[in-house]
Amino acid sequence: MRRQRSAARSSALHAALLFFGLHAAPLPAQDVVSHEAELESGRSHYIANCARCHGVNGGGGEGPPLARSTLPRAPDDAALVRIMRTGISGSAMGSTWWLSRESLEQIALFVRSLAPASADEAETLRGDPSRGRTVFEAEGCDRCHTVRGFGTGRGPDLTTVGSRRGASYLREAIVDPPAALPRGLTAMPSDFVDYLVVRAVDRDGRAVRGVRLNEDTYTIQIKDARGVIRTFYKPDLQSLDREFDRSLMQSYADRLSEEDLDDLIAYLATLTGSELRGIS
């Protein structure tokens, strides 16, 4: 008798939910409310802690898109919570040690709820990756980048760039390189900007311009255009300028058509390194 009554109540609730446009959630009312509340706090923790790198809707940016049906490195919620807790070493993604386990679980809930068909994925899919590969070769991108060991390593290796970056960031890296100076590709602290162009002038007025490799309180290491690495003792320098508005990489905004650019981004997005895992 009691069971019948509660069944009747829940089917009335069910009808009410349908009536108000909420889809047939087979959960009792209280659970529906708390699920919504958890999702909502997951969303606000996500906006505060993740959105600047993964995009407000999970479309990706400096970090890869999270609005995907499967996350290779976070196949389940436990793995997702673990990744947030530890961060990813050698990348800009640090630990979110200040969040409680409960908050991390709420974020995981929210990340799972993101629609897989985000705008960013649509952008990735717009181009043709095999044409993009031809553009990559024709434009000589391999003069500075390596992909699976081929090319020259003056700039970052791109073998796994598709698993590290979202399409919006890839576009920016190609049309406005200084805006996308990468953080945390090397073993330096994750707020260290890699490939920063610097200009040092020593006591005798000799200037060296190149890419900063390392820097601490007293010393800086610079790799010049010929690939020669020099270390300077900073108190000995007349001046040291960090050129945040420059990159070794020129902008391709005027060289590539919209179509070439879409194809190139689609090609880069396929470089996830997953084909390598099978080999090793």
**Distances 170 to 120, 138, 142, 213, 232 between C-alpha atoms, Å:** 11, 18, 16, 22, 33
Q: Does 165 bind ligand HEC (CB under 6 A)?
A: yes
d(CA 263, CA 127): 4
Which parts of the chain are beta strand (E)? 146-147, 150-151, 197-202, 207-215, 219-224, 229-233, 237-243
With binding defined as CB under 6 A, does residue 81 bind ligand HEC? no
Binding status of residue 62 toward ligand HEC by CB under 6 A: yes
CA end-to-end span of the chain, whole Å?
Answer: 62
Question: What sign results for the dihedral spanned by CA atoms 64, 69, 73, 76?
Answer: positive
**Binding flag, residue 144, ligand HEC (CB under 6 A):** yes
Candidates 42, 43, 54, 168: give the one binding ligand HEC (CB under 6 A): 54
39 lines the binding site for ligand HEC (CB under 6 A):
no
> Stretches 84-92, 116-124, 216-224, 226-234: which one binds ligand HEC (CB under 6 A)?
84-92
- Per rule CB under 6 A, is residue 59 in the interface with ligand HEC? no
Binding mask 171-190 for ligand HEC (x = CB under 6 A): --xx--x--xxx--------
HSE (CB half, 13 Å, CA atoms) of 125? 8
**Structure letter (DSSP) for residue 191:** T
Alpha carbons 46 and 55: distance in angstroms, whole number: 10
Out of 67, 71, 114, 213, the only residue in the binding site for ligand HEC (CB under 6 A) is 71
Residue 265 binds ligand HEC (CB under 6 A): no
Nearer to ligand HEC, 76 or 202 (CB): 76
Residue 245: in which H helix or E strand, if any?
none
Closest CB 251 distance from ligand HEC, rounded Å: 10
Residues that bind ligand HEC (CB under 6 A): 49-50, 52-54, 62-64, 66, 71-74, 80, 83-84, 88, 91-93, 96, 107, 111, 136, 139-141, 143-145, 154-156, 161, 163-165, 170, 173-174, 177, 180-182, 195, 247-249, 252, 264, 268
